[in-house]
Amino acid sequence: MKKKKTTKKDITVTEIWDSGFRISEAQIIVPHHISEIITEVQERINNNEYSILLKGQWEKQGFVIGTDYIIPKQKVLPADVTYIDDISILREQQGYNVVVHSHPFLKDSTSGWFSAADETTINIHFPCSLLLNGIGQIVAANLNIETTCPGKWIKIRLGYEDIFITKPSREIEIEGVENIQISTVKIGTQKTLNLVDDHLYTKHNHVASQYSINKDKYEFGELEQAIANCATEEELEDLRDMTTNVIEYDRVTEAIDIYNDLFKGGHNGETLQW
């Protein structure tokens, strides 16, 4: 007996094999108020890194971040976060499975990536890792997906275009900001200057905001003192050429921008008295 040849026209939906798989997009959905919280915290701590933990899970539309968050106790610097709280407990016992931290030196760039140290010391322990730029935008992410082989995971890297923020629905209230302690880096001998002159303080205030100072006290590390000793744009540029990392380079570049702002684009050989 000959079998009837099934054509494409003869196939119905009921004849197609159903594997039972449900495929989600490799994208991350973030509640608007969580996005606002992480942005606001970054603004409050200026150019320092910081970290916050969230909860998330896979749903039909992708990996969806929940509304719970916690700011663990930590000490922060412009390029470092040291956890005081044991985040393994928060991860394993309280379900905070999303780790977030910032790279302030990215400023407002939407292009950036985790450092090698981030990948091997933090991200490897969380199903989802988010990276913020200097204004608190989420610009990159990792999704670690467990395979059928025990202990084997696959990492998916996502960029700015793969992260979606929901529409605003409520006002934000931030809890736990007091857990972030901004550390002071002491590079060489530090000096303290009393800024008693209002005009002098006005010239400082753009740079001063970067170092959490007040009007009566301004602590200089070695780099800041070197910036203060520069009297011309050329001296600042020479100093920038001698910097050894991105953060130092950016700080001196900011000082050059301030110099140009003060003289409105033309210093005419004038020197700057910091």
Domain ranges of the chain: 28-182, 191-262
Please report the pLDDT score of residue 7 as a whole number.
52
Of the chain, the percentage scoring pLDDT greater than 90 comes to 47
Please give the torsion angle defined by the CA atoms of residues 271, 272, 273 and 274, in that order, rounded to the nearest 10 degrees: -160
Please report the pLDDT score of residue 274 as a whole number.
47
Mean pLDDT score, 221-225: 69
Please report the pLDDT score of residue 184 as a whole number.
60
What digits encode the pLDDT tens for the residues 8-32? 555 555 567 788 877 878 999 999 9
Please determine, for residue 86, whether its predicted confidence score (pLDDT) is greater than 70: yes
pTM of the entire predicted model:
0.61
More confident residue, 95 or 215: 95
Please determine, for residue 172, whether its predicted confidence score (pLDDT) is greater than 60: yes
Strand partners, 128: 98, 143
Mean pLDDT score, 130-144: 96
* Domain 28-182 falls under CATH 3.30.70: no
- Spell 102-130 as b/e; 16+ CB within 10 A means b: bbbbbeeeeebebeeebeeebbeebbbbb
